[in-house]
Amino acid sequence: MTEWRQAARIFTNTTPVNLPTFILRRRWLALSAICLLNLAGCVPTSDYEALQKENQELQKSVDTLNVQIRQMHAQLLMAQQQQAQAVELQARLEQAKKEAADKEEEMRQLQQRWEKYKGDRRKALVGKQFSEIALGDGRVLKNAEITGMVDDQLAIRHENGFTKVALALGGEDIRWLACFDEEEAADNMRLARLGKAKSLGAQLDASRKPRPGASSTSTKTLSASQEEAKALRKSIEAQRAALNQAYNRLAAKHQSALRGAHWNSARPEDSGLINVFAERRAVLGLGELDSLAASIKAGLRKLHDLETVSP
């Protein structure tokens, strides 16, 4: 065997081959591979640029969506925080309402205890004897004995006879024993006036009811309605003046507690201190303001009805 055939056998590790045929086959395979590579690289330039452009646009869309996702995530976190704050504020509001209600109940109970204590003191005053009583009007009653007390009026028997005098004029000793307070007495007087105003309102309601057989369009009825409206306006003005006076006394007594509270002196029944929960204050005496304001509002509704009916 010749040397080149032996070398070819060793190279292929196969049976002996024809070397020229082997070389020709290898060249053909190499040429085929080169052609295939050329065919694979022969992509049109326009298609490649289109694919590249589409890829860039898709990348931009992905980046934009990622930015939107981060923004929405931040908005979601902010909304969750705001919701948590709203829940916390609502809980604090409910707690404040409960505390205010508890304080009002404590004040009501305190007022009841005070009224009982004052009543007991005044009952104990009946039958008490004094060597002399110096009245506020300058009179001095000798060997005096208190025989009764009704509606802040004292009944006193003394060496010169019998007399009745207001507790406000009973002198310092008696007023102290009776737990008399000038501001409280003024409040009671205003409440009494309020009761009279309500009674007047009830009378006005009764007078507005048409009588059987009477014509609603008669001159007499119109005149009566006008008189009712005039009287009601006067009553409302008096109630507003009383409400302003009550507020001024309350503000002078509780300056720090009522600081910043809204008050409309022209229409005090519309003041924020009365109508807005956030401006309510835990002070003794707001009940009187509420009652006066309610009476004024009722009178205004009646006045509106009268003015609507009247030509």
198 in the same domain as 165: no
Range of the domain at 162: 126-177
Give the predicted TM-score (pTM) of the model.
Answer: 0.38
Q: 216 in a domain, yes or no?
A: no
Q: 232 in a domain, yes or no?
A: yes
Residues 246 and 251: their CA atoms lie apart, in Å, by 9
Strands (DSSP E) found in 128-245:
129-134, 140-150, 153-158, 161-166
277 in the same domain as 292: yes
52 in the same domain as 100: yes
Report the pLDDT value the prediction gives residue 11, as an integer from 0 to 100: 45
253 in the same domain as 193: yes
296 in the same domain as 189: yes
168 in the same domain as 94: no
Q: 170 in a domain, yes or no?
A: yes
Best CA proximity match to 135, nearest among 98, 163, 93: 163
187 in the same domain as 286: yes
Residues 173 and 92: their CA atoms lie apart, in Å, by 49
110 in the same domain as 82: yes
239 in the same domain as 288: yes
pLDDT values of the chain reduced to their tens digit, one per residue, 311 residues: 555 455 545 444 444 544 455 555 555 555 555 554 444 445 556 777 777 787 888 888 888 888 888 888 888 888 888 888 888 888 888 888 888 888 888 888 888 888 888 888 888 888 888 888 888 777 888 998 999 888 778 889 999 888 888 887 777 888 888 888 777 777 766 777 777 777 777 777 676 665 555 444 445 555 667 788 888 888 888 888 888 888 888 887 877 777 777 888 888 888 888 887 667 776 777 777 888 888 888 888 888 887 775 54
Based on the structure, what is the number of domains in the chain?
Answer: 4
Q: 55 in a domain, yes or no?
A: yes
CA distances from 217 to 30, 117, 130, 225 (A): 123, 57, 67, 11
Q: Would you call 164 exposed, middle or buried from its count of C-beta atoms within 10 A (0-12, 13-18, 19+)? A: exposed
Best CA proximity match to 250, nearest among 190, 309, 167: 190
233 in the same domain as 140: no
Q: 202 in a domain, yes or no?
A: yes
56 in the same domain as 20: no
Report the pLDDT value the prediction gives residue 9, as an integer from 0 to 100: 52
CB neighbourhood size of 118 (10 A): 15
